[in-house]
Structure 1
Amino acid sequence: MSLMIVILATLAAGIGSVWIAYLLVARTRASNGQTSYAQQGFLGLAAGALLTTSLTHLLPEALESNVDAHELFLVILAGLVFFFLLGKAELWHHPHDHEHTSPSHRGSSWALLIGDGVHCFGDGVLIASMFIVDIRLGAIAAASVLAHEIPHHMGDLAVLREGSYRGSAVLKLTMAGGMTALGGVSGYLLLAKLQHWQPFLMAVAGSSFIYVALSDVIPRMQQRRTAKDATIQVAWLLLGIAIVAVVNSLSHGNSAL
């Protein structure tokens, strides 16, 4: 697997999600819209892709290896606990409820950016680990991270614009998003030497995808309860499931040839 592919994928997921979020926020403001249905669509797409990738690809393939199933499930449990603790630490410095956050000084904005940078670095490591396993899986991981981060960055921009100029807010968040590429390079250099641990890496990645979908993405989808919101969410959720299912079937078909 080429390091350049990992760099390009992580840049697209990290910085691309920031600029798509900026364009959606600008469009919403220009049309005097109060909410963005595109945001709900991206959440649904991310939830579907994350859960399907984990439950139909990562965990089944890890279980098909020669590793003891009890050991794998212990790794999954440890991964869920770890990501729970990581989320607690991130929330301590970086509350996710941006709509009701009003920074009183510049320090809070920098705390938000630091939290984003750490989060993006972890996303980069995850994407790199998936590319090491399989190029198609890496592409799915990058697309899922991009879709998941767009609504997140839309909230960040709303917070940062309260304390700085619009261009400054976008530049700062772009720098934080760039940490995804740094995480990708670090993950590639470290994990490429540990390929014999591949089943356990897949188990950890699967627990990460499940945790993000169930603790972050789906709860944010549940906050919107109108019929139109529900229709958009379900449609994009099914689209995310369908995309991953098609990619998985093509992958298995090619491996059988």
Structure 2
Amino acid sequence: MLLWIIGFSILGSLGAIAGAALFLFFPDGIRKILLPCLISYATGTLLGAAFLGMIPSGLEQAPANLIMATVLAGMVLFFVLEKLVIWRHCHQADCEIHGRAAPLILIGDAFHNFVDGVVIAAAFLNSVPLGIATALAVIAHEVPQEVGDFAILLDSGYSRSRALLLNGLSSSTTLPGALIAYFWLGGTREAVPYILAVSAASFIYIAAADLIPALNRQVTLAASVRQFVLLLAGIGTIALFHLGA
């Protein structure tokens, strides 16, 4: 189980960085088309992982009222953390959050990736299919996020190599988060359903507060249909993991 957690934590951080770095080499026109597609798919994976995996798993192990209260408390927590610029996850290069100093962005991203590691570990400790589905959701939403990070760092005067290095360092916190969660939750398994509930809250919050509003800026029929299909594809991908469990 530890090897599963280590492997997918590394894949989650390195995969997102590699995907974002490759994305920046595409022409601007292609990036403008592909980024909303990535965000649509990521929205589906996050919502699917939360509602089809994490919350049902938590409800199987703890009282429903406590699990749902934990989800609600988690969403309020992430709202407060975002206001403190600790939990930032804007996927657009020109958003207000990205107007803050680049070091704050990197610090917030490091914290975000640390939490992603905790999320991955908690999911794998519950079941391998849930762990894989959760790691996939993490990768899916981290790629467009890292694209936004690269864009703002480059706009701030960083070279491509320095931006890549700094983003790589901020993404490296995923593994420590996963390892700490593995050894802590391994001795306190009673906490796993509540960690899953908080993890579900983080996924729902990112999808509802960031990704969906970004998608709603495109109002053409073709864009809306494309977003809807890719959102369903993201949900379907997560569902397949659970149907095969």
TM-score when normalising by structure 1: 0.85
Q: What is the deviation of 1:96?
A: 6.1
Q: CA RMSD in A?
A: 2.5
SS at match of 2:17: helix
The residue number in structure 1 matching 2:43 is 47
The residue number in structure 2 matching 1:196 is 190
Looking at CA atoms only, which structure, 1 or 2, has the larger radius of gyration? 1
CA distance in 1, matches of 2:50, 2:210: 16
CA distance in 2, matches of 1:110, 1:87: 15
The residue number in structure 2 matching 1:254 is none
CA distance in 2, matches of 1:28, 1:169: 19
1:53-202 to structure 2, matched below 5 A, reads 53-65=49-61, 67-90=62-85, 97-99=92-94, 108-162=101-155, 163-202=157-196
Structure 2 gaps, min length 5: none
Assess, with a 3 A threshold, how the Cα gap between structure 1 residues 103 and 194 changes in structure 2: closer, same or farther.
closer
CA distance in 2, matches of 1:208, 1:102: 18
CA distance in 2, matches of 1:247, 1:103: 34
Deviations 1:10-58 (A, max 9, x none): 12111211121111121124xxx27432222221122112212222232
The residue number in structure 2 matching 1:245 is 239
Q: What is the deviation of 1:152?
A: 1.2
> Is the 8 Å Cα contact of residues 101 and 159 (structure 1) preserved in structure 2?
no
Q: What is the deviation of 1:121?
A: 1.0
1:226-241 to structure 2, matched below 5 A, reads 226-241=220-235
The residue number in structure 2 matching 1:21 is 20
> Is the 8 Å Cα contact of residues 118 and 179 (structure 1) preserved in structure 2?
yes
Assess, with a 3 A threshold, how the Cα gap between structure 1 residues 108 and 137 changes in structure 2: closer, same or farther.
same
The residue number in structure 2 matching 1:214 is 208
Assess, with a 3 A threshold, how the Cα gap between structure 1 residues 22 and 229 changes in structure 2: closer, same or farther.
farther
Assess, with a 3 A threshold, how the Cα gap between structure 1 residues 169 and 221 changes in structure 2: closer, same or farther.
same
Aligned-residue sequence identity (percent) comes to 31
Deviates more, 1:201-210 or 1:89-98: 89-98
> Is the 8 Å Cα contact of residues 117 and 176 (structure 2) preserved in structure 1?
yes
Q: What is the deviation of 1:171?
A: 1.3
Q: What is the deviation of 1:130?
A: 0.8
Assess, with a 3 A threshold, how the Cα gap between structure 1 residues 171 and 136 changes in structure 2: closer, same or farther.
same
Deviations 1:79-130 (A, max 9, x none): 12112112222279887653257999xx922222112111111111111111
CA distance in 1, matches of 2:88, 2:202: 20
Assess, with a 3 A threshold, how the Cα gap between structure 1 residues 178 and 38 changes in structure 2: closer, same or farther.
same
- Residue type matched to 1:7 in 2? I
CA distance in 2, matches of 1:218, 1:102: 17
Number of residue pairs the alignment of both structures matches: 244
CA distance in 2, matches of 1:122, 1:129: 11
- Residue type matched to 1:19 in 2? A
Assess, with a 3 A threshold, how the Cα gap between structure 1 residues 120 and 73 changes in structure 2: closer, same or farther.
same
Assess, with a 3 A threshold, how the Cα gap between structure 1 residues 138 and 24 changes in structure 2: closer, same or farther.
same
Structure 1 gaps, min length 5: 252-257
